[in-house]
Structure 1
Amino acid sequence: MSKTSFRSGNPAPRHLPWYVRSAARTWTCAPPPADVRDFHAGLPGYSPTALTELPALASELGVGRVFVKDESSRLGLPAFKALGASWAIHRVLAQRADRGGGPVRLVTATDGNHGRAVARMARLFGQCAQVFVPRGVHPAAVTAIEDEGADVVLVPGAYDEAVRRAADAASVGQGSVLVQDTAWPGYERIPGWIVEGYSTLFAETDGQLRAVGVEAPGLVVVPAGVGSLAQAAVAHYRSRRSESPPAALMSVEPDTAACVLAGLGRGEPVSVPTGATTMAGLNCGTVSSLAWPYLRDGLDAAVSVTDADSAGAARDLAAAGVSSGPCGAASLAGARAALTGDGAAVRRSALDVGPDSTVVLLSTEGAAANPHLDANPHGDEESR
């Protein structure tokens, strides 16, 4: 893809695919529902995931403090996805109960984490699940979904084809509901509930930061696939109108599938071809239609990183005691790309990041979420 440049007209270093929007911190939106975290707190096994401070990374990045939000164990699963799946399924079942509905077959497509979360929550709520899995997913990931009690359908095509197959399957009969974590025109309500579910992650982070004397972060770095988690970050931080100065928000994608970065550079959603990447959960060619307005108006910056960048970040996080898969480690790789190296002074200024800033990195999955790293990584997902 072509290199992007600052919206202000200042060129980014040519070796770093990069975008920045100086007006993002003035944009505001409505907050997520206040009752989402209370719902999650009532689920079996709920506890806030760890927020781990890593002083060595703060020194490396030239900032005051660095914290990693560690999603390697969330409601018994190795990724954050259960937050969105549980809230969305809760809303689906509540709505059907109001209409006198019976049992539900919950249908979805996945490259691993989302499908397993839907299957787990379907079992918890006494429902059945059908999960469409595209090519390239490691058999261990498929087995993990099956072990949750789901009916798994293997699709010989890529992720987009699996989504189409899941949508077709859910449209047959009155007892099926598609629970997909990406939106398109005409299908946005349930993806919106999934995004609302992610708000618990940020509410937890607020409390954990305050407990160590930090009122608000200066920069939050979020891995992005179709943009749903990044949308949740924007909705959380851009709805806090009284916060000054507001946090800067930056998305990170694989350089082989940077649909958010490409769209921001063009000023409109675009689809990009995807290639093989170890960041399988971020291997998305099209941004969610629901997420796009939030990302366009509320993200300060976007950057893309290589598999080697992510692998190095995962190794460094592991050495510091944080289990992180390539998708989760992308946040550290992105922070390194933006805050260090050639042109870093310009990028740091654009993000208003200085030696006293607090940086929060979202590590969205643990190493256990990636059994397919030793395989040929052709999964075309997934909905961060």
Structure 2
Amino acid sequence: MTDTTVTRWVANDRSTTWSSPDSDDAALSFHRGLEGYEPTALIALPELARELGVAAVFAKDESTRLGLPAFKALGASWAVHRALEAHQAGTDAEVVTATDGNHGRAVARFARKAGHPARIFVPAGGIHPSAVAAIRGEDAEVVEVDAGYDQTVAAAADYAAGSAGVLVQDTAWDGYEEVPGWIVDGYSTLFREIDSQLREAGRASPDLICVPTGVGSLLQAALAHYRRAEADSDQGGEGSGTAVVSVEPDSAACMGPSLAEGRPVSVATGQTIMSGLNCGSPSSLAWPLISNGLDAAVTVSETAAIEAAHRLADLGIAAGPCGAASLAGVRESLTGDDRVSRRRHLGVDSDSVIVLTITEGAEANPVPEA
């Protein structure tokens, strides 16, 4: 465990020739077959474009994803399906996970739909009481662990191993990478939708996308998508493409220190209203894509996330603190100290298109008053 001084911005001088493997459409096809599936809205925000000095800003609003108020439904639905199939689990097999936010409710929802009980481990006092109530509302057993997120994940893994439960965790470690990989594959649907929606709006791929980041699974999905050789070709050839920035709370920021050290670094975490991002260790599965494909890591304060949430609410988007962190991260990157050099590093100018990934709605995690 590393105790680090928080640095708000860490640039990564990635290789512009590196690319991730192309992926198939299996997860997207699965999602399209689910009851209630439809692409979430991509909302143009011209007011923010003017404020940030760019051509366009869009918000990908995940507050209504498959009947749940967060993007986690994409990864959980696909991973629960694949894990139960792979384990040939009987109907009494318990689906197990740890969560500091919306992942647990999503796992519980799709376990229930598949006819299986669920046991969800949560850090005691680490997530909003309404989120705990929502998990219980999916008929799941909730186990509160008097420890931080990383220790809660370990407790869930130990329980699943000892009970023959089916662990569906979005954190990867050595020896546990297949299921987290399915979760990442599920998240790819979000970025495929963005591509299609931008084309319908007469735009190409975004020049910059900001991704609220916990252990890094959604970030991994973004990098897998935007660093494909096919994507690079579509966007104009070698070295071009979408700049990707991770956004973390300054009380739980492991991506910047990891980039600075050139290896995954675990950090001590504190309390944050961005509970879904309160993670101190990068996923081992995500790290190769982060180190090779991420453009920068930025951290944001509680105040910045709250202010961003209220600004989005003024524009008609009810974002929770984690979702609003995307806007807070863009503001820190493009309008804060050293903004000229940061814009240059990201390739952002007055013609740029920015996408904010609004990963959760206010229903999932209420926003305090400013």
What is the distance in 1 between the residues matched to 2:364 and 2:5?
A: 32
Name the structure 1 match of 2:35.
Answer: 44
Moved over 2 A (4+): 1-4, 21-26, 100-104, 137-140, 371-374
Q: RMSD of the TM alignment (CA)? A: 1.6
Aligned CA distance change for structure 1 residues 329 and 345 (closer, same or farther; 3 Å): same
Aligned CA distance change for structure 1 residues 373 and 185 (closer, same or farther; 3 Å): farther
Please say if residues 306 and 368 of structure 2, whose CA atoms lie closer than 8 Å, have aligned partners that are also in contact. Answer: no
Please say if 1:322 is aligned against 2:311: no
Please say if residues 320 and 367 of structure 2, whose CA atoms lie closer than 8 Å, have aligned partners that are also in contact. Answer: no
Aligned CA distance change for structure 1 residues 327 and 37 (closer, same or farther; 3 Å): same
Please say if residues 133 and 153 of structure 1, whose CA atoms lie closer than 8 Å, have aligned partners that are also in contact. Answer: yes
Per the TM alignment, residue 57 of structure 1 is displaced from its structure 2 partner at its CA by 0.4
Please say if residues 32 and 199 of structure 1, whose CA atoms lie closer than 8 Å, have aligned partners that are also in contact. Answer: no
Name the structure 2 match of 1:75.
Answer: 66
Please say if 1:53 is aligned against 2:44: yes
Per the TM alignment, residue 101 of structure 1 is displaced from its structure 2 partner at its CA by 5.2
Name the structure 2 match of 1:250.
Answer: 245
Name the structure 2 match of 1:11.
Answer: none
**Structure 2: which amino acid aligns with 1:154?**
E
Please say if 1:90 is aligned against 2:72: no
Please say if residues 24 and 299 of structure 1, whose CA atoms lie closer than 8 Å, have aligned partners that are also in contact. Answer: no
- Which of 53, 66, 70 does residue 57 from structure 2 map onto? 66
Calculate the TM-score normalised by the size of structure 2.
Answer: 0.93
**Structure 2: which amino acid aligns with 1:29?**
S
Please say if 1:144 is aligned against 2:139: no
What is the distance in 1 between the residues matched to 2:324 and 2:362?
A: 10
> Unpaired runs of 5+ in structure 1?
5-16, 375-384
**Structure 1: which amino acid aligns with 2:140?**
A
Aligned CA distance change for structure 1 residues 48 and 291 (closer, same or farther; 3 Å): same
What is the distance in 2 between the residues matched to 1:159 and 1:148?
A: 21
Name the structure 1 match of 2:103.
Answer: 114
Per the TM alignment, residue 158 of structure 1 is displaced from its structure 2 partner at its CA by 2.0
Name the structure 2 match of 1:236.
Answer: 225
**Structure 1: which amino acid aligns with 2:348?**
V
Please say if 1:170 is aligned against 2:160: yes
Superimposed CA distance per residue, residues 55-74 of structure 1 (whole angstroms, 9 cap, x where no aligned partner): 01001111100000001111
Aligned CA distance change for structure 1 residues 24 and 369 (closer, same or farther; 3 Å): farther
What is the distance in 2 between the residues matched to 1:183 and 1:156?
A: 22
Superimposed CA distance per residue, residues 71-127 of structure 1 (whole angstroms, 9 cap, x where no aligned partner): 111111110001001111111122234xx8554210011123111000000011111
What is the distance in 1 between the residues matched to 2:70 and 2:226?
A: 22
**What is the SS of the residue equivalent to 2:356?**
strand
Please say if 1:22 is aligned against 2:13: yes
Name the structure 2 match of 1:157.
Answer: 147
Please say if 1:188 is aligned against 2:204: no
Superimposed CA distance per residue, residues 255-291 of structure 1 (whole angstroms, 9 cap, x where no aligned partner): 1111011101111111111111111111111111111
**Structure 2: which amino acid aligns with 1:279?**
M
**Structure 2: which amino acid aligns with 1:221?**
C
Per the TM alignment, residue 224 of structure 1 is displaced from its structure 2 partner at its CA by 0.7
**What is the SS of the residue equivalent to 1:220?**
strand
Please say if residues 25 and 248 of structure 1, whose CA atoms lie closer than 8 Å, have aligned partners that are also in contact. Answer: no
Aligned CA distance change for structure 1 residues 156 and 372 (closer, same or farther; 3 Å): farther
Please say if 1:360 is aligned against 2:355: yes
**What is the SS of the residue equivalent to 2:147?**
coil
Please say if residues 215 and 280 of structure 2, whose CA atoms lie closer than 8 Å, have aligned partners that are also in contact. Answer: yes
Name the structure 1 match of 2:261.
Answer: 266
**What is the SS of the residue equivalent to 1:198?**
helix
**Structure 1: which amino acid aligns with 2:147?**
G
Per the TM alignment, residue 342 of structure 1 is displaced from its structure 2 partner at its CA by 2.9
Name the structure 1 match of 2:93.
Answer: 104
Per the TM alignment, residue 172 of structure 1 is displaced from its structure 2 partner at its CA by 2.1
Query: Structure 1 residues 340-349 or 230-239, which shifts more?
Result: 340-349
Aligned residues: 359
Q: How many percent of aligned residue pairs carry the same amino acid? A: 57
**What is the SS of the residue equivalent to 1:303?**
strand
Please say if residues 84 and 197 of structure 1, whose CA atoms lie closer than 8 Å, have aligned partners that are also in contact. Answer: yes
**What is the SS of the residue equivalent to 1:27?**
coil
Per the TM alignment, residue 3 of structure 1 is displaced from its structure 2 partner at its CA by 6.3
Name the structure 2 match of 1:379.
Answer: none
**1:333-352 paired onto structure 2 within 5 Å:** 333-352=328-347
Aligned CA distance change for structure 1 residues 127 and 372 (closer, same or farther; 3 Å): farther
Aligned CA distance change for structure 1 residues 3 and 139 (closer, same or farther; 3 Å): closer
**What is the SS of the residue equivalent to 1:226?**
coil
**Structure 2: which amino acid aligns with 1:299?**
L
**What is the SS of the residue equivalent to 2:232?**
coil
Name the structure 2 match of 1:7.
Answer: none
Please say if residues 100 and 149 of structure 2, whose CA atoms lie closer than 8 Å, have aligned partners that are also in contact. Answer: yes
What is the distance in 2 between the residues matched to 1:110 and 1:21?
A: 29
What is the distance in 2 between the residues matched to 1:157 and 1:373?
A: 24
Calculate the TM-score normalised by the size of structure 1.
Answer: 0.90
Please say if 1:214 is aligned against 2:214: no
Per the TM alignment, residue 146 of structure 1 is displaced from its structure 2 partner at its CA by 1.1
Per the TM alignment, residue 201 of structure 1 is displaced from its structure 2 partner at its CA by 0.3
Please say if residues 222 and 251 of structure 1, whose CA atoms lie closer than 8 Å, have aligned partners that are also in contact. Answer: yes
Please say if residues 33 and 196 of structure 1, whose CA atoms lie closer than 8 Å, have aligned partners that are also in contact. Answer: no
Superimposed CA distance per residue, residues 291-323 of structure 1 (whole angstroms, 9 cap, x where no aligned partner): 111101100111111011111000000000011
Superimposed CA distance per residue, residues 318-355 of structure 1 (whole angstroms, 9 cap, x where no aligned partner): 00001101111111011011111331111101111010
